[in-house]
Amino acid sequence: MGASIPDPSISRHAMRTVPAHMHSLHQKDSSVLSLAGDYDHLFSGSQGQDIFVWDRRTFQLKTTLEGHTGPVLALEVCRQKKWLFSSSGDSTVRVWSTSTLAPLYVIVPHGGTDAGDIFSLTFSPCLSTLFFGCQNTSLQWLDLSHPEQLPISLPERRPPSKRDRFFESGARSGTRTPSYYADRQTSLNLHVLTHATEPRVLHVPAENVIASAHYGYIYSMALLPSPHLTASDPTREDGAVELLTGSGDEDVKLWLCTQEGGPVLQHTFHAGEGGGVLSLVARSGTVYAGCQAGFVKVWDLETRTLVRTIIAQENVDVLSLSMVDSDLYGCSANGMVQRWSASFECTASWKAHDGIVLSSIIACDPDDVSCASAEAYSACEPSVLHKLALVTGANDSTIKLWSVERPLCPPESEPSAATGSQEDTLLYALEKFVAIPSLSGCAERREDCRQAAIWLKKCLSQLGAETQLLPTSVGGEDEEGGNPLVLATFRGTGGEKQRPRVLFYGHYDVIDAPAQRGWDSDPFTLSGRDGYLYGRGVTDNKGPILACATAASDLLARRKLDLDLVMLVEGEEEVGSPGFCDAVRRHKDQIGHVDAVLVSNSYWIGECTPCITYGLRGVVHATVEISSQRADVHSGVDGGAVSEPMIEMIKLLSTLTSGQKVLLPGFYDTVRPITSRELEQFELLSKMTGEPVARLCARWREPSLSVHGLQVSGPGNATVIPARVKATVSLRVVPDQDTDTIARSLVEHLQLNFRALQTSNQLSVTIERKADWWLGDLDSDWFLALESAIKDEWGVTPLRIREGGSIPPIPFLEKEFGCNALQLPLGQSTDQAHLANERISLNNLRRGKSVFERFFTRVAQFESKAT
Instruction: Output phi, psi for 832, to 5 deg.
Output: 65, 35
Residue 556 host element (H or E): helix 542-557
CA dist list (Å): 559 to 286, 306, 595: 11, 10, 21
Q: How far apart are CA 670 and CA 737, in angstroms?
A: 5
Q: Determine which one of 325, 327, 414, 509 is catalytic.
A: 509
Long-range contacts of the stretch 174-178 (C-beta < 8 A, 24+): 175/333, 175/355, 175/356, 175/395, 177/31, 177/47, 177/356, 177/395, 178/29, 178/30, 178/31, 178/47, 178/395
Rounded distance, CA 268 to CA 213, Å?
11
User: Is 838 assigned a catalytic role?
Assistant: no
The answer to whether residues 585 and 522 touch, using CB atoms and an 8 Å cutoff, is: no
As a whole number of angstroms, the distance between CA 533 and CA 543 comes to 10
Could you give the CA distance from residue 557 to residue 567 in angstroms, rounded to a whole number? 18
Q: Which residues pair with 83 in a beta bridge?
A: 78, 97
Alpha-carbon distance of 250 to 20, in angstroms, equals 34
Helix (H) or strand (E) holding 720: strand 720-721
Are 672 and 735 in contact, with CB atoms under 8 Å apart?
Answer: yes
Burial call 586-621: b when 16+ CB within 10 Å, e when fewer: ebeeebebbbbbbbbbbbbbbeebbbbbbbbbbbbb
Please give the Cα distance from 845 to 422 (Å, whole number).
12
Phi/psi at 273 (5° precision): -70, -5
Q: For residue 133, what are the β-bridge partners?
A: 120, 139
CB-based burial label for 216 (10 Å; 0-12, 13-18, 19+): middle
From start to end of 527-629, where are the E strands?
527-529, 532-534, 564-570, 596-599, 611-616, 618-627
Residues 132 and 81: their CA atoms lie apart, in Å, by: 18
Report, in angstroms and rounded to the nearest whole number, the Rg of the chain calculated over CA atoms: 34
320 with 296: CB under 8 angstroms?
no
* E strand spans, 571-617: 596-599, 611-616
| Contact (CB, 8 A) for 563 and 859 | yes
Q: How many CB atoms lie within 10 A of CB 843?
A: 11
Q: What single-letter amino acid sits at 489?
A: T
DSSP 313: S
Amino acid identity of residue 801, one-letter, is I
Cβ-based neighbour number of residue 350 at 10 Å: 13
Label residues 261-287 b or e (16+ Cβ within 10 Å = b).
ebbeeeeebebbbbbbbbbbbbbbebb
Dist CA 468 CA 489 (whole Å): 9
Among the options 573, 648, 793, 838, which is catalytic?
A: 573
117 is an active site residue: no
The angle formed by the CA atoms of residues 244, 365 and 50, to the nearest 5 degrees, is 60
Distance separating alpha carbons of residues 834 and 510, to the nearest angstrom: 8
What positions carry a catalytic annotation? 509, 573
